[in-house]
Structure 1
Protein backbone atom coordinates (compact mmCIF):
# COMPACT_ATOMS: atom_id res chain seq x y z
CA UNK A 1 0.00 0.00 0.00
CA UNK A 2 2.80 2.40 1.00
CA UNK A 3 4.79 1.66 -2.15
CA UNK A 4 1.73 2.45 -4.30
CA UNK A 5 1.22 5.74 -2.47
CA UNK A 6 4.87 6.71 -2.98
CA UNK A 7 4.59 5.88 -6.67
CA UNK A 8 1.51 8.10 -7.06
CA UNK A 9 3.27 10.98 -5.28
CA UNK A 10 6.34 10.52 -7.48
CA UNK A 11 4.28 10.53 -10.66
CA UNK A 12 2.38 13.64 -9.58
CA UNK A 13 5.64 15.45 -8.81
CA UNK A 14 7.19 14.31 -12.07
CA UNK A 15 4.16 15.52 -14.03
CA UNK A 16 4.34 18.94 -12.35
CA UNK A 17 8.02 19.32 -13.17
CA UNK A 18 7.59 17.94 -16.68
CA UNK A 19 5.10 20.67 -17.58
CA UNK A 20 6.72 23.57 -19.39
CA UNK A 21 6.09 27.08 -18.14
CA UNK A 22 3.90 27.64 -21.19
CA UNK A 23 1.74 24.65 -20.23
CA UNK A 24 1.46 25.88 -16.66
CA UNK A 25 0.45 29.35 -17.86
CA UNK A 26 -2.15 27.95 -20.26
CA UNK A 27 -3.63 25.95 -17.40
CA UNK A 28 -3.76 29.07 -15.23
CA UNK A 29 -5.38 31.08 -18.03
CA UNK A 30 -8.06 28.42 -18.50
CA UNK A 31 -8.88 28.51 -14.80
CA UNK A 32 -9.13 32.30 -14.61
CA UNK A 33 -10.98 32.70 -17.91
CA UNK A 34 -14.19 31.21 -16.57
CA UNK A 35 -14.04 33.32 -13.41
CA UNK A 36 -13.36 36.71 -15.00
CA UNK A 37 -16.37 38.85 -16.03
CA UNK A 38 -16.56 39.66 -19.75
CA UNK A 39 -16.33 43.41 -19.11
CA UNK A 40 -13.08 43.04 -17.20
CA UNK A 41 -11.62 40.67 -19.80
CA UNK A 42 -12.40 43.28 -22.45
CA UNK A 43 -10.54 46.01 -20.52
CA UNK A 44 -7.51 43.77 -19.98
CA UNK A 45 -7.41 42.66 -23.61
CA UNK A 46 -7.69 46.26 -24.80
CA UNK A 47 -4.82 47.33 -22.54
CA UNK A 48 -2.59 44.55 -23.90
CA UNK A 49 -3.42 45.42 -27.51
CA UNK A 50 -2.74 49.12 -26.94
CA UNK A 51 0.56 48.37 -25.23
CA UNK A 52 1.66 46.21 -28.15
CA UNK A 53 0.51 48.87 -30.64
CA UNK A 54 2.64 51.46 -28.82
CA UNK A 55 5.74 49.75 -30.21
CA UNK A 56 7.17 48.97 -26.78
CA UNK A 57 8.37 45.53 -27.88
CA UNK A 58 10.41 47.02 -30.73
CA UNK A 59 11.76 49.84 -28.56
CA UNK A 60 12.92 47.54 -25.75
CA UNK A 61 16.59 46.57 -25.73
CA UNK A 62 17.30 43.58 -27.93
CA UNK A 63 20.03 41.19 -28.96
CA UNK A 64 23.29 42.84 -29.95
CA UNK A 65 22.82 45.88 -27.72
CA UNK A 66 25.07 46.74 -24.79
CA UNK A 67 23.49 46.35 -21.39
CA UNK A 68 22.90 49.72 -19.65
CA UNK A 69 25.19 50.77 -16.80
CA UNK A 70 23.15 50.32 -13.63
CA UNK A 71 23.53 49.07 -10.09
CA UNK A 72 21.91 46.05 -8.52
CA UNK A 73 21.87 46.66 -4.82
CA UNK A 74 25.15 48.49 -4.30
CA UNK A 75 27.03 46.65 -7.05
CA UNK A 76 27.31 47.69 -10.71
CA UNK A 77 25.88 45.14 -13.14
CA UNK A 78 29.37 44.94 -14.64
CA UNK A 79 30.63 43.25 -11.47
CA UNK A 80 28.22 40.40 -12.18
CA UNK A 81 28.61 39.77 -15.90
CA UNK A 82 32.42 40.11 -15.91
CA UNK A 83 32.53 36.97 -13.76
CA UNK A 84 30.34 34.99 -16.14
CA UNK A 85 27.13 34.88 -18.11
CA UNK A 86 24.33 36.69 -16.28
CA UNK A 87 20.57 36.28 -16.63
CA UNK A 88 18.38 39.22 -15.63
CA UNK A 89 14.63 38.74 -15.52
CA UNK A 90 12.05 41.45 -14.82
CA UNK A 91 8.69 40.63 -13.27
CA UNK A 92 5.65 42.76 -12.47
CA UNK A 93 5.24 42.04 -8.77
CA UNK A 94 4.54 39.44 -6.13
CA UNK A 95 0.81 39.81 -6.80
CA UNK A 96 1.15 38.50 -10.38
CA UNK A 97 0.39 34.74 -10.63
CA UNK A 98 2.07 34.40 -14.03
CA UNK A 99 5.23 35.99 -12.66
CA UNK A 100 5.21 33.55 -9.77
CA UNK A 101 4.91 30.58 -12.12
CA UNK A 102 7.97 31.79 -14.00
CA UNK A 103 9.99 32.51 -10.85
CA UNK A 104 9.18 29.08 -9.43
CA UNK A 105 10.38 27.48 -12.65
CA UNK A 106 13.62 29.46 -12.42
CA UNK A 107 13.92 28.29 -8.81
CA UNK A 108 13.52 24.66 -9.87
CA UNK A 109 16.48 25.09 -12.22
CA UNK A 110 18.54 27.39 -10.02
CA UNK A 111 21.03 24.69 -8.96
CA UNK A 112 21.81 24.09 -12.65
CA UNK A 113 22.43 27.81 -13.19
CA UNK A 114 24.80 27.89 -10.21
CA UNK A 115 26.58 24.69 -11.22
CA UNK A 116 27.57 26.24 -14.54
CA UNK A 117 28.59 29.55 -12.99
CA UNK A 118 25.63 31.45 -14.45
CA UNK A 119 24.29 34.32 -12.35
CA UNK A 120 20.50 34.57 -12.11
CA UNK A 121 18.95 37.84 -10.93
CA UNK A 122 15.31 38.93 -10.80
CA UNK A 123 14.11 42.54 -10.60
CA UNK A 124 10.68 43.91 -9.66
CA UNK A 125 9.26 47.35 -8.85
CA UNK A 126 8.13 46.02 -5.46
CA UNK A 127 9.68 47.36 -2.27
CA UNK A 128 12.43 45.33 -0.58
CA UNK A 129 9.90 44.36 2.11
CA UNK A 130 7.47 43.00 -0.50
CA UNK A 131 10.25 41.09 -2.25
CA UNK A 132 11.32 39.51 1.02
CA UNK A 133 7.72 38.37 1.53
CA UNK A 134 7.54 36.99 -2.03
CA UNK A 135 10.76 35.02 -1.55
CA UNK A 136 9.51 33.58 1.72
CA UNK A 137 6.00 32.72 0.51
CA UNK A 138 7.20 31.06 -2.70
CA UNK A 139 10.44 29.57 -1.36
CA UNK A 140 12.70 31.41 -3.82
CA UNK A 141 16.42 31.29 -3.08
CA UNK A 142 17.97 33.17 -6.01
CA UNK A 143 18.70 36.93 -5.74
CA UNK A 144 15.75 39.27 -6.24
CA UNK A 145 16.20 43.04 -6.02
CA UNK A 146 13.88 46.02 -5.88
CA UNK A 147 13.88 48.14 -9.03
CA UNK A 148 12.59 51.25 -7.31
CA UNK A 149 10.37 53.40 -9.55
CA UNK A 150 11.14 51.04 -12.46
CA UNK A 151 14.44 52.86 -12.99
CA UNK A 152 16.28 49.86 -14.45
CA UNK A 153 13.24 48.65 -16.40
CA UNK A 154 13.06 52.12 -17.97
CA UNK A 155 16.67 51.81 -19.16
CA UNK A 156 15.73 48.56 -20.87
CA UNK A 157 12.67 50.19 -22.43
CA UNK A 158 10.27 47.96 -20.49
CA UNK A 159 8.43 50.39 -18.18
CA UNK A 160 4.98 51.67 -19.08
CA UNK A 161 2.03 53.51 -17.54
CA UNK A 162 -1.07 51.52 -16.62
CA UNK A 163 -4.26 52.83 -18.29
CA UNK A 164 -6.77 54.35 -15.85
CA UNK A 165 -9.45 51.71 -16.53
CA UNK A 166 -6.95 48.90 -15.91
CA UNK A 167 -5.89 50.55 -12.65
CA UNK A 168 -9.51 50.26 -11.50
CA UNK A 169 -9.60 46.59 -12.50
CA UNK A 170 -6.48 45.93 -10.47
CA UNK A 171 -8.04 47.68 -7.49
CA UNK A 172 -11.10 45.40 -7.80
CA UNK A 173 -8.73 42.42 -7.74
CA UNK A 174 -7.20 43.77 -4.52
CA UNK A 175 -3.90 44.68 -6.19
CA UNK A 176 -2.53 47.76 -4.39
CA UNK A 177 0.43 48.98 -6.43
CA UNK A 178 0.88 52.00 -4.17
CA UNK A 179 1.46 49.68 -1.22
CA UNK A 180 3.56 47.07 -3.05
CA UNK A 181 5.76 49.59 -4.89
CA UNK A 182 5.83 52.38 -2.33
CA UNK A 183 4.81 55.05 -4.85
CA UNK A 184 1.78 56.37 -6.73
CA UNK A 185 3.17 56.06 -10.27
CA UNK A 186 1.03 53.12 -11.42
CA UNK A 187 3.81 51.90 -13.71
CA UNK A 188 4.88 48.35 -14.43
CA UNK A 189 7.66 46.64 -16.35
CA UNK A 190 6.84 44.54 -19.37
CA UNK A 191 8.06 41.08 -18.28
CA UNK A 192 11.45 40.57 -19.88
CA UNK A 193 14.36 38.15 -19.66
CA UNK A 194 17.90 38.88 -20.84
CA UNK A 195 21.14 36.94 -21.12
CA UNK A 196 24.26 39.09 -20.85
CA UNK A 197 27.72 37.82 -21.80
CA UNK A 198 31.07 38.69 -20.18
CA UNK A 199 31.50 41.74 -22.41
CA UNK A 200 28.14 43.19 -21.44
CA UNK A 201 26.45 42.29 -24.72
CA UNK A 202 22.82 41.19 -24.74
CA UNK A 203 22.86 37.73 -26.31
CA UNK A 204 19.21 36.81 -25.68
CA UNK A 205 16.15 38.97 -25.14
CA UNK A 206 12.51 38.08 -24.57
CA UNK A 207 9.96 40.79 -23.78
CA UNK A 208 6.31 40.75 -24.81
CA UNK A 209 3.42 43.16 -24.27
CA UNK A 210 1.20 40.17 -23.46
CA UNK A 211 2.23 39.42 -19.87
CA UNK A 212 1.19 35.77 -20.24
CA UNK A 213 3.95 35.21 -22.82
CA UNK A 214 7.17 34.42 -20.98
CA UNK A 215 10.68 33.20 -21.64
CA UNK A 216 10.84 29.47 -20.92
CA UNK A 217 13.36 29.10 -18.03
CA UNK A 218 14.74 25.79 -19.26
CA UNK A 219 15.37 27.33 -22.70
CA UNK A 220 17.05 30.31 -21.03
CA UNK A 221 19.28 27.91 -19.10
CA UNK A 222 20.30 26.02 -22.24
CA UNK A 223 21.06 29.25 -24.09
CA UNK A 224 23.06 30.63 -21.16
CA UNK A 225 25.02 27.37 -20.87
CA UNK A 226 25.95 27.48 -24.56
CA UNK A 227 27.19 31.07 -24.20
CA UNK A 228 29.08 30.33 -20.99
CA UNK A 229 31.01 27.53 -22.68
Structure 2
Protein backbone atom coordinates (compact mmCIF):
# COMPACT_ATOMS: atom_id res chain seq x y z
CA UNK A 1 0.00 0.00 0.00
CA UNK A 2 1.33 3.42 -0.97
CA UNK A 3 1.91 6.03 1.72
CA UNK A 4 -0.94 8.24 0.51
CA UNK A 5 -3.38 5.32 0.66
CA UNK A 6 -2.46 4.83 4.32
CA UNK A 7 -2.84 8.56 5.01
CA UNK A 8 -6.24 8.64 3.30
CA UNK A 9 -7.44 5.71 5.40
CA UNK A 10 -6.19 7.37 8.60
CA UNK A 11 -8.00 10.60 7.74
CA UNK A 12 -11.21 8.72 6.91
CA UNK A 13 -11.05 6.71 10.14
CA UNK A 14 -10.40 9.85 12.19
CA UNK A 15 -13.14 11.98 10.65
CA UNK A 16 -15.70 9.17 10.83
CA UNK A 17 -15.12 8.32 14.49
CA UNK A 18 -13.36 4.99 14.04
CA UNK A 19 -10.39 5.94 16.25
CA UNK A 20 -10.23 6.36 20.05
CA UNK A 21 -10.10 10.13 19.59
CA UNK A 22 -13.45 11.18 18.10
CA UNK A 23 -13.59 14.79 16.87
CA UNK A 24 -16.75 16.87 16.67
CA UNK A 25 -18.04 18.16 13.34
CA UNK A 26 -17.02 21.67 14.44
CA UNK A 27 -13.47 20.56 15.20
CA UNK A 28 -13.17 18.86 11.81
CA UNK A 29 -14.42 22.02 10.12
CA UNK A 30 -11.85 24.10 12.04
CA UNK A 31 -9.06 21.79 10.88
CA UNK A 32 -10.24 21.87 7.26
CA UNK A 33 -10.52 25.65 7.34
CA UNK A 34 -6.99 26.07 8.72
CA UNK A 35 -5.56 23.77 6.05
CA UNK A 36 -7.37 25.69 3.31
CA UNK A 37 -6.12 29.01 4.68
CA UNK A 38 -2.53 27.79 4.63
CA UNK A 39 -2.92 26.34 1.14
CA UNK A 40 -4.57 29.49 -0.18
CA UNK A 41 -1.84 31.68 1.35
CA UNK A 42 0.57 30.48 -1.32
CA UNK A 43 3.37 30.09 1.21
CA UNK A 44 4.31 26.67 -0.16
CA UNK A 45 5.00 28.18 -3.59
CA UNK A 46 7.32 30.77 -2.01
CA UNK A 47 9.38 28.21 -0.07
CA UNK A 48 12.80 27.08 -1.26
CA UNK A 49 12.56 24.87 -4.32
CA UNK A 50 14.72 22.92 -6.77
CA UNK A 51 17.58 25.10 -7.96
CA UNK A 52 17.83 27.12 -4.74
CA UNK A 53 20.82 26.91 -2.43
CA UNK A 54 19.99 25.14 0.83
CA UNK A 55 20.74 27.24 3.93
CA UNK A 56 23.33 25.73 6.23
CA UNK A 57 22.15 24.42 9.59
CA UNK A 58 23.54 22.93 12.78
CA UNK A 59 21.06 20.85 14.80
CA UNK A 60 21.26 18.23 17.59
CA UNK A 61 19.91 14.70 17.76
CA UNK A 62 18.59 13.15 21.01
CA UNK A 63 22.04 11.83 21.89
CA UNK A 64 23.63 15.27 21.72
CA UNK A 65 25.35 14.74 18.36
CA UNK A 66 25.34 17.88 16.23
CA UNK A 67 24.64 17.61 12.51
CA UNK A 68 25.99 20.37 10.27
CA UNK A 69 24.71 20.48 6.71
CA UNK A 70 27.99 21.38 5.02
CA UNK A 71 29.75 18.50 6.82
CA UNK A 72 27.03 16.02 5.88
CA UNK A 73 27.26 16.95 2.20
CA UNK A 74 30.94 16.02 2.12
CA UNK A 75 29.77 12.40 2.47
CA UNK A 76 27.05 12.56 -0.18
CA UNK A 77 23.62 13.98 -1.04
CA UNK A 78 21.08 14.43 1.69
CA UNK A 79 17.37 13.64 1.96
CA UNK A 80 15.75 15.93 4.53
CA UNK A 81 12.17 15.60 5.69
CA UNK A 82 10.51 18.25 7.86
CA UNK A 83 7.63 17.00 9.99
CA UNK A 84 5.37 18.33 12.72
CA UNK A 85 6.08 15.98 15.62
CA UNK A 86 5.50 12.69 17.38
CA UNK A 87 1.98 13.82 18.34
CA UNK A 88 0.91 13.79 14.65
CA UNK A 89 -0.17 10.32 13.42
CA UNK A 90 0.14 11.42 9.79
CA UNK A 91 3.77 12.34 10.40
CA UNK A 92 4.43 8.98 12.05
CA UNK A 93 3.13 7.14 8.99
CA UNK A 94 5.38 9.34 6.86
CA UNK A 95 8.45 8.51 8.96
CA UNK A 96 7.67 4.79 8.87
CA UNK A 97 7.38 4.93 5.07
CA UNK A 98 10.77 6.65 4.86
CA UNK A 99 12.31 3.98 7.09
CA UNK A 100 10.92 1.30 4.78
CA UNK A 101 12.70 3.01 1.87
CA UNK A 102 15.87 3.88 3.81
CA UNK A 103 18.02 1.02 2.50
CA UNK A 104 17.21 2.01 -1.10
CA UNK A 105 18.07 5.63 -0.34
CA UNK A 106 21.37 4.68 1.29
CA UNK A 107 22.20 2.26 -1.54
CA UNK A 108 22.24 5.30 -3.80
CA UNK A 109 24.87 7.00 -1.66
CA UNK A 110 22.47 9.37 0.09
CA UNK A 111 21.83 10.08 3.74
CA UNK A 112 18.41 10.47 5.36
CA UNK A 113 17.40 12.63 8.29
CA UNK A 114 14.28 14.25 9.72
CA UNK A 115 13.80 17.66 11.35
CA UNK A 116 11.02 18.77 13.69
CA UNK A 117 10.53 21.50 16.31
CA UNK A 118 9.96 18.98 19.10
CA UNK A 119 12.17 18.48 22.12
CA UNK A 120 15.08 16.06 22.09
CA UNK A 121 13.11 13.67 24.31
CA UNK A 122 10.22 13.63 21.86
CA UNK A 123 12.62 13.07 18.97
CA UNK A 124 13.93 10.02 20.83
CA UNK A 125 10.34 8.85 21.29
CA UNK A 126 9.71 9.28 17.54
CA UNK A 127 12.71 7.12 16.76
CA UNK A 128 11.72 4.45 19.27
CA UNK A 129 8.00 4.29 18.50
CA UNK A 130 8.51 4.25 14.72
CA UNK A 131 11.59 1.95 14.86
CA UNK A 132 13.68 4.45 12.88
CA UNK A 133 17.31 4.00 11.96
CA UNK A 134 17.94 7.54 10.79
CA UNK A 135 18.48 10.64 12.92
CA UNK A 136 15.79 13.07 14.03
CA UNK A 137 17.04 16.57 14.72
CA UNK A 138 15.39 19.18 16.94
CA UNK A 139 14.82 22.59 15.38
CA UNK A 140 14.15 25.06 18.21
CA UNK A 141 11.22 27.34 17.28
CA UNK A 142 11.40 25.91 13.74
CA UNK A 143 14.19 28.37 12.99
CA UNK A 144 15.74 26.19 10.27
CA UNK A 145 12.29 25.56 8.82
CA UNK A 146 11.90 29.33 8.59
CA UNK A 147 15.08 29.63 6.51
CA UNK A 148 13.55 27.12 4.08
CA UNK A 149 10.37 29.22 4.01
CA UNK A 150 8.08 26.55 5.47
CA UNK A 151 7.42 27.77 9.05
CA UNK A 152 3.90 29.01 9.78
CA UNK A 153 1.81 29.98 12.81
CA UNK A 154 -1.30 28.05 13.78
CA UNK A 155 -4.55 30.06 13.97
CA UNK A 156 -6.07 30.51 17.42
CA UNK A 157 -9.11 28.30 16.81
CA UNK A 158 -6.90 25.42 15.64
CA UNK A 159 -4.71 25.83 18.72
CA UNK A 160 -7.77 25.29 20.90
CA UNK A 161 -8.72 22.16 18.93
CA UNK A 162 -5.23 20.70 19.34
CA UNK A 163 -5.27 21.47 23.05
CA UNK A 164 -8.60 19.64 23.39
CA UNK A 165 -6.97 16.63 21.72
CA UNK A 166 -4.16 16.67 24.29
CA UNK A 167 -1.63 17.99 21.77
CA UNK A 168 -0.33 21.06 23.59
CA UNK A 169 2.56 21.95 21.33
CA UNK A 170 4.14 24.29 23.85
CA UNK A 171 4.88 21.11 25.84
CA UNK A 172 5.90 18.91 22.89
CA UNK A 173 8.15 21.47 21.22
CA UNK A 174 11.52 22.94 22.12
CA UNK A 175 10.09 26.45 21.76
CA UNK A 176 7.11 27.84 23.62
CA UNK A 177 5.08 29.09 20.68
CA UNK A 178 2.66 27.50 18.23
CA UNK A 179 4.68 27.50 15.04
CA UNK A 180 5.24 24.45 12.88
CA UNK A 181 6.89 23.50 9.60
CA UNK A 182 4.74 22.55 6.67
CA UNK A 183 5.57 18.92 5.91
CA UNK A 184 8.34 19.03 3.32
CA UNK A 185 10.78 16.73 1.61
CA UNK A 186 14.08 17.94 0.12
CA UNK A 187 16.97 16.33 -1.70
CA UNK A 188 20.16 18.40 -1.46
CA UNK A 189 23.09 17.69 -3.73
CA UNK A 190 26.70 17.66 -2.56
CA UNK A 191 27.11 21.20 -3.90
CA UNK A 192 24.38 22.38 -1.50
CA UNK A 193 21.82 22.97 -4.26
CA UNK A 194 18.31 21.61 -3.79
CA UNK A 195 17.46 19.18 -6.58
CA UNK A 196 14.04 18.05 -5.32
CA UNK A 197 11.46 19.82 -3.15
CA UNK A 198 7.94 18.83 -2.20
CA UNK A 199 6.06 21.03 0.29
CA UNK A 200 2.55 20.05 1.39
CA UNK A 201 0.46 22.64 3.27
CA UNK A 202 -2.16 19.90 3.69
CA UNK A 203 -0.57 17.70 6.36
CA UNK A 204 -2.68 14.73 5.25
CA UNK A 205 -0.91 14.71 1.87
CA UNK A 206 2.67 13.43 1.53
CA UNK A 207 4.79 12.35 -1.47
CA UNK A 208 5.65 8.68 -1.58
CA UNK A 209 9.29 8.05 -0.60
CA UNK A 210 9.74 6.01 -3.78
CA UNK A 211 9.68 9.31 -5.68
CA UNK A 212 13.10 10.05 -4.21
CA UNK A 213 14.83 7.13 -5.91
CA UNK A 214 14.87 8.42 -9.54
CA UNK A 215 16.14 11.77 -8.22
CA UNK A 216 18.99 10.05 -6.40
CA UNK A 217 19.72 7.85 -9.42
CA UNK A 218 20.09 10.95 -11.58
CA UNK A 219 22.36 12.60 -9.02
CA UNK A 220 24.52 9.51 -8.91
CA UNK A 221 24.81 9.24 -12.69
CA UNK A 222 25.87 12.88 -12.87
Q: Does 1:23 align with 2:10?
A: no
The answer to whether the Cα contact below 8 Å between 1:69 and 1:77 also exists between their aligned partners in 2 is yes
* Residue in structure 2 matching 1:116, options 108, 112, 119: 108
Q: Does 1:188 align with 2:170?
A: no
Whichever structure has more helix as a proportion of its residues is 1
* Residue in structure 2 matching 1:209, options 201, 210, 220: 201
1:182-220 CA distance string (max 9 Å, x none)? 332111100000001111111100002111111211111
The answer to whether the Cα contact below 8 Å between 2:120 and 2:138 also exists between their aligned partners in 1 is yes
Shift of 1:222: 3.0
The answer to whether the Cα contact below 8 Å between 1:125 and 1:148 also exists between their aligned partners in 2 is yes
Equivalent residue of 1:82, what SS? helix
Shift of 1:176: 1.6
Equivalent residue of 1:194, what SS? strand
* Residue in structure 1 matching 2:213, options 217, 221, 226: 221
The answer to whether the Cα contact below 8 Å between 1:84 and 1:228 also exists between their aligned partners in 2 is no
User: Normalization by structure 2: what TM-score?
Assistant: 0.91
Equivalent residue of 2:152, what SS? strand
* Number of equivalences: 211
User: Normalization by structure 1: what TM-score?
Assistant: 0.88
In structure 1, what is the equivalent of residue 79 of structure 2?
87
Which stretches in structure 2 are left out of the alignment for 5+ residues? 18-22, 61-65
Residue range with higher mean Cα deviation, 181-190 or 200-209: 181-190
Q: Does 1:179 align with 2:168?
A: no
In structure 2, what is the equivalent of residue 135 of structure 1?
127
In structure 1, what is the equivalent of residue 53 of structure 2?
66
Shift of 1:91: 0.3
Shift of 1:79: 1.2
Q: Does 1:34 align with 2:16?
A: yes
In structure 1, what is the equivalent of residue 37 of structure 2?
50
In structure 2, what is the equivalent of residue 163 of structure 1?
155
Cα distance between partner residues in 2 of 1:168 and 1:135? 28
Cα distance between partner residues in 1 of 2:45 and 2:143? 19
Shift of 1:59: 1.4
Which stretches in structure 1 are left out of the alignment for 5+ residues? 1-18
Q: CA RMSD in A?
A: 1.2
